[in-house]
Structure 1
Amino acid sequence: MTADLASTPSRRHDLDWIRVGAFLLLILYHVGMFYVPWGWHVKSSHQVDGLIPAMLLTNPWRLTLLFLVSGAATRFLFDGLERKGAAPGRLAGSRVLRLLPPLVFAMFVVVPPQSYYEIVEAVRGYLPGADPYHNAYTADFWIRYATASGNWCDGDGCLITPTWNHMWFVAYLLVYSLILAGLLAVTRGALKRLGGVLEKALSGWGLLIWPILFLAAIRWWLAPIFPITHALTDDWYNHALSFSAFLFGFLIARSETLKQGFIRIRLPALILGLIGWIGWTAYVLSFPEASATVPTDALRRIMRIVYAIQQWSFIAAILGYGARYLTRGGPLLRYLTIGVFPFYIAHQTIIVVAGHHLAKLGLPLIAEAGLIIGITVLGCWLTYEVARRIGWLGLVLGIRPARAPETER
């Protein structure tokens, strides 16, 4: 999504496949958010507590992995630009052109239905008997949304608009890319040489141990002070986590040594990740949000380490197994590599709108969930196909138009 892998002179098919798989997994995760007891924009009448362990399996690492592979993709893009004599400013311009139009378009066109139906469901809960589609809470919705004048508040706080919701990932990626371009300009490319330092520091079991210690440290000290908000300006634990992963991916993308290191530790990493997942899941299920029982501070601190173990171990295992087995490209990978960005832009709004309306039909769980998944995949695919056919307007849906072949002279 972040760098145009299809247009870079060098590529790693394993990272392409991992990136595609991570985004498709994200779609299923957001479908799951419709059913688990955690708060979300809209909710099904079917609450499926059994989904919680599956959600907790990916929750600690899925977005960190995406930032890592996005950093790697940015490295391939920058190296391609550098070979053409382009300065880091060209990287910054490329990222602004690629990420800013879909971010702005999504905030004012794609995301508003998510906020609308969130308000509708809140009204249905707070004003029983009221027609949720015709009341003061949703009147002139888009104007109030765009001008931050909605005053949509309840006992849990206010809905601040305009908002980027799931597009926070793109906003952060844009900011990180600009910071990286600045660092590359200031260091005159010396930043890339840190990859060699990482190769030495992460040799052997260090590739598993040192990242876990880093993730445990920031979760130990930063997470309690700066809970994740996705609001950019006050999200310091998230920045420490996500920007570090992005920069790490940029630095190691071309390292054959570390690639082989991930292959060697893939099985121990997977086993350690599964152990961490079992421990983290047991902890979460033992202390649900609505429970009057709360964990001790000592237990919280221990579980921050367990969380970090699960987080990095699964990332290391995925990178290792991907490097070992996902080595082939092909037409399907090229199609999906370009398509995951429009899929990402559209998916959550489709899930929210479809979920809200399907929930009112009283369908059995299997039928409802199957329809939501099917509608989401179809809607994302249609978004992608439309974006491919509208030229430069496709930028707002995450597709840069292909260059026309040069005519022979």
Structure 2
Amino acid sequence: MTHAPTSRLYFLDWLRIAAFGVLVLYHVGMYYVSWDWHVKSPHAGPAPEPWMLLSSPWRLGLLFLVSGVATSTMLARDAGRGWLRARSQRLLLPLACGMLLVVPPQPYFEVVQQHGYAGGYLDFLRLYFQGHGGFCRPGAGCLILPTWNHLWFVAYLWVYTLVLWALVRGVPAALERAAVPALRLLRGPALLLAPLALMVAWRGMLAPRFPSTHALVDDWYNHAAYLSLFLLGAVLARRPEAWDGFARLRHAALVLALAGWAMLALRYTGWPGAEALRGLRPVAFGTAQWCGIAAAIGFARVHWDRDHAWRRYLCDAVFPVYLLHQTLIVLLTQALAPLAWPPLAEGPVLVVLTLALSFAGYEGVRRVALLRPWFGLARRRPSAPLAAAPA
């Protein structure tokens, strides 16, 4: 399979858009599962969890890999201190805006529902900005305030960007040098098997000792997995022919990813032998993780590597939508709770309203020059034509 040279990998843009779309569905689903989250439906239980596992192993890893590609591409054009300063502003201003303005309603309703907090929102904000540490639950620890909640991805992306920038500044040809042996190693089935083995190793060795916290300083399993994928994306960006390997292996990757998911889902079936296979869960998770990423890239390479009028708009919108969506989900769950709808009726309404209000927020923000950088948009006059945001 061959593709005409293109200055932009459109299929990666579409993958990024789709992955953030799945994120909205996933976070709505978190309201209905038994896993810990900020607020919980009175109908919450394990029934949706196998379906949540269809995307949870690979979705964020895919976003870090795509971000590595985009960061590497930008650094190939400019690796100066000015670029790092601009990139830091593009990531850290929205993170600050999120922690100060967007995120606080999430922990407020969390402490109301899970800690019995009876104060008003303004009273809670005082505690939030003071770093109050008294919201604790046995076995769950204490709520850290202030918090970045779902915006942890932005903080991690900035740190990984800093690591890659320092590498390129210190050894300007490092990525080109790494790309040649990497492409030779990741040839044929090894494109699936070598990264899969690495993801299984991280899961087996680090996840039991360092469970996911999203707190940056102690999250070593997530750093090992996500930084590996970010750096892999950075290397692959220097060898565009590598993407055709994913296209050739897409069907095998999909089969393996579904097999990994099926192994993870066995615990929900009630099958007596499921617990005996507990030791294989790192293999199942690592397989679902990497092969899910590889399958998504492969199918997107074949079917989505083209431009469309919506792509530029959605690329621009995806960061503000990501910034806003989880707070909107929490607010909407509390607004809809008195109606006592069953999950099959309430869930789709939550998805539609969250997307509608998130895009409405984007439409408002993009027209106000002062707000644009605080929501991850390029600085420009409101009347200027839209420019595609970097992935």
TM score, norm. by length of structure 1: 0.87
Provide the C-alpha distance between the structure 2 equivalents of 1:262 and 1:40, rounded to a whole number of angstroms.
Answer: 35
- Which amino acid in structure 2 is aligned with residue 37 of structure 1? S
| CA contact 1:43–1:356 (8 Å) conserved in 2 | no
| CA contact 2:249–2:298 (8 Å) conserved in 1 | yes
SS at match of 1:39: coil
SS at match of 1:73: helix
| CA contact 2:84–2:165 (8 Å) conserved in 1 | yes
C-alpha distance 224-378 of structure 1, shift in aligned 2 (>3 A): same
Provide the C-alpha distance between the structure 2 equivalents of 1:246 and 1:285, rounded to a whole number of angstroms.
Answer: 35
- Which amino acid in structure 2 is aligned with residue 191 of structure 1? L
1:40 aligns with 2:37: yes
Range with bigger deviation, 390-399 or 94-103: 390-399
| CA contact 2:246–2:294 (8 Å) conserved in 1 | yes
SS at match of 1:58: coil
Task: Give how far 1:284 is off.
Answer: 5.3
C-alpha distance 256-134 of structure 1, shift in aligned 2 (>3 A): closer
Which of 325, 333, 351 is equivalent to 2:311?
Answer: 333
Could you give the per-residue CA deviations for residues 38-89 of structure 1, whole angstroms, max 9, x where no partner exists? 22111112235432121011111110001001111112222233xxxxx342
Task: Give how far 1:256 is off.
Answer: 3.2
Could you give the per-residue CA deviations for residues 130-185 of structure 1, whole angstroms, max 9, x where no partner exists? xx5547xx672111101102521232321110010000000000011011111111
| CA contact 1:392–1:400 (8 Å) conserved in 2 | no
User: Aligned residues, how many?
Assistant: 378
Task: Give how far 1:220 is off.
Answer: 1.4
Which of 167, 183, 196 is equivalent to 2:180?
Answer: 196
Provide the C-alpha distance between the structure 1 equivalents of 2:151 and 2:384, rounded to a whole number of angstroms.
Answer: 33
| CA contact 2:176–2:238 (8 Å) conserved in 1 | no
Which residue in the other structure is 2:76 paired with? 79
| CA contact 2:134–2:142 (8 Å) conserved in 1 | yes
Which residue in the other structure is 2:86 paired with? 94
Provide the C-alpha distance between the structure 1 equivalents of 2:344 and 2:241, rounded to a whole number of angstroms.
Answer: 46
Which residue in the other structure is 1:230 paired with? 214
Task: Give how far 1:254 is off.
Answer: 4.1
Provide the C-alpha distance between the structure 2 equivalents of 1:264 and 1:205, rounded to a whole number of angstroms.
Answer: 10
1:391 aligns with 2:369: yes
Which of 318, 335, 339 is equivalent to 1:357?
Answer: 335
Range with bigger deviation, 35-44 or 169-178: 35-44
Which residue in the other structure is 1:117 paired with? 109
SS at match of 2:53: helix
Provide the C-alpha distance between the structure 2 equivalents of 1:284 and 1:250, rounded to a whole number of angstroms.
Answer: 37
Task: Give how far 1:399 is off.
Answer: 1.2
| CA contact 2:260–2:283 (8 Å) conserved in 1 | no
Provide the C-alpha distance between the structure 1 equivalents of 2:113 and 2:87, rounded to a whole number of angstroms.
Answer: 37
Which residue in the other structure is 1:4 paired with? none
Question: Which structure 1 residue ranges, 5 or more long, are not aligned?
Answer: 1-8, 82-86, 125-131, 288-292
Which of 142, 145, 149 is equivalent to 2:128?
Answer: 145
SS at match of 2:39: coil
| CA contact 1:41–1:114 (8 Å) conserved in 2 | yes
C-alpha distance 188-163 of structure 1, shift in aligned 2 (>3 A): same
C-alpha distance 256-400 of structure 1, shift in aligned 2 (>3 A): closer
Task: Give how far 1:370 is off.
Answer: 2.7
Which residue in the other structure is 2:21 paired with? 24
TM score, norm. by length of structure 2: 0.91
| CA contact 1:228–1:235 (8 Å) conserved in 2 | yes
Provide the C-alpha distance between the structure 2 equivalents of 1:143 and 1:396, rounded to a whole number of angstroms.
Answer: 23
Provide the C-alpha distance between the structure 2 equivalents of 1:195 and 1:283, rounded to a whole number of angstroms.
Answer: 40
Provide the C-alpha distance between the structure 2 equivalents of 1:192 and 1:151, rounded to a whole number of angstroms.
Answer: 50
1:346 aligns with 2:338: no
Could you give the per-residue CA deviations for residues 197-228 of structure 1, whole angstroms, max 9, x where no partner exists? 21001011110110111111111111111111
C-alpha distance 255-392 of structure 1, shift in aligned 2 (>3 A): farther
Task: Trace 1:250-289 onto structure 2 (pairs within 5 A).
Answer: 250-283=234-267, 286=270
1:212 aligns with 2:204: no
SS at match of 1:40: coil
1:58 aligns with 2:36: no
Which residue in the other structure is 1:290 paired with? none
Provide the C-alpha distance between the structure 2 equivalents of 1:147 and 1:134, rounded to a whole number of angstroms.
Answer: 15
SS at match of 1:57: coil
Provide the C-alpha distance between the structure 2 equivalents of 1:308 and 1:230, rounded to a whole number of angstroms.
Answer: 19
SS at match of 1:50: coil
Which residue in the other structure is 1:401 paired with? 379
SS at match of 2:203: helix
1:311 aligns with 2:311: no
Task: Give how far 1:188 is off.
Answer: 2.2
Provide the C-alpha distance between the structure 2 equivalents of 1:133 and 1:231, rounded to a whole number of angstroms.
Answer: 27
| CA contact 2:16–2:63 (8 Å) conserved in 1 | yes
Could you give the per-residue CA deviations for residues 245-271 of structure 1, whole angstroms, max 9, x where no partner exists? 111111102423311111110011111
Provide the C-alpha distance between the structure 2 equivalents of 1:192 and 1:14, rounded to a whole number of angstroms.
Answer: 22
C-alpha distance 161-267 of structure 1, shift in aligned 2 (>3 A): same
Task: Give how far 1:286 is off.
Answer: 5.0
Provide the C-alpha distance between the structure 2 equivalents of 1:373 and 1:365, rounded to a whole number of angstroms.
Answer: 12
| CA contact 1:388–1:401 (8 Å) conserved in 2 | no
Provide the C-alpha distance between the structure 2 equivalents of 1:31 and 1:192, rounded to a whole number of angstroms.
Answer: 41
Provide the C-alpha distance between the structure 1 equivalents of 2:113 and 2:384, rounded to a whole number of angstroms.
Answer: 50
1:249 aligns with 2:246: no
SS at match of 2:87: helix
| CA contact 1:44–1:356 (8 Å) conserved in 2 | no
- Which amino acid in structure 1 is aligned with residue 94 of structure 2? P
Could you give the per-residue CA deviations for residues 277-315 of structure 1, whole angstroms, max 9, x where no partner exists? 11111135559xxxxx9946xx44322111111111111
